[in-house]
Amino acid sequence: MFTGIIEELGEVESVGARLKVRCSIVMTDMMEGASIAVNGVCLTAVDPRPNSFSADLAPETLRLSNLGDLRAGSRVNLERPLAAAGRLSGHIVQGHVDGTGELLSMEALGDDNWWLRIRVPAELDPFLVYKGSIAIDGISLTIAALEGGVLSATIIPHTWRNTTLGGYRPGARVNLECDILAKHVEKLLRKLEVKPPLTVEKLRENGY
């Protein structure tokens, strides 16, 4: 499990069926087979070295996330799994991407704050709520507006400087993971038996 608090910006050294990322902070306690979130996608680290790790990418991962768009030199958001005694500073993030969205714009608000707008797939709409949480490329963000299939969020200076968002341009594909709690609630509601309302006609039919 992750929290959406990015620890380090890594740099892609090579990509294909196997991704290799140069980094340092997340390598301090990484072991072979450890989990690592790369742009919000939970991967298994292999061949850990002092300044890099690799991870195998399944065809489905390449197709359903923006990892297939990476090139040598691309920057990626990195986060290690949450330790059992750690603080949940963001929100519960599994590293299981639900889909990708299209970055529409990044508008400057002043003082190095930004207004991010992303077009989201219609099938993810039931899991998105105003002031709810969402992971965008593994970054825990709060939904500031939802309108016409477009999600907006405010990007503070720290997030702008320490994640990949500052390097994106309109049209970029970003990974989206909805709040797991919203997904559970939506499924439970669909399973509930909704009874029709009681009407005068129904009472008459039953002899009242």
Q: Which pLDDT tens digit goes with each residue over 158-206?
A: 999 999 999 999 999 999 999 988 888 887 887 776 667 767 787 777 7
Segments in the chain below pLDDT 70? 193-195, 198, 208
Count CB atoms within 10 A of the CB of residue 53. 25
Cross-strand bridge partners of residue 9:
77
Identical topology for domains 8-79 and 99-191: yes
Catalytic positions: 2, 35, 42, 44, 58, 96, 142
Domain 8-79 -> CATH class: mainly beta
pLDDT the model gives residue 194: 62
pLDDT the model gives residue 191: 77
The CA distance from 142 to 157, in Å, is: 15
Quick check: 138 and 2 in contact, CB under 8 A?
Answer: yes
Instruction: Tell me the pTM.
Output: 0.88
The full set of domain ranges for the chain reads: 8-79, 99-191
Q: Is 99-191 in CATH node 2.60.40.290?
A: no
Closest CA to 7 of 140, 105, 199, 110: 140
pLDDT the model gives residue 56: 97
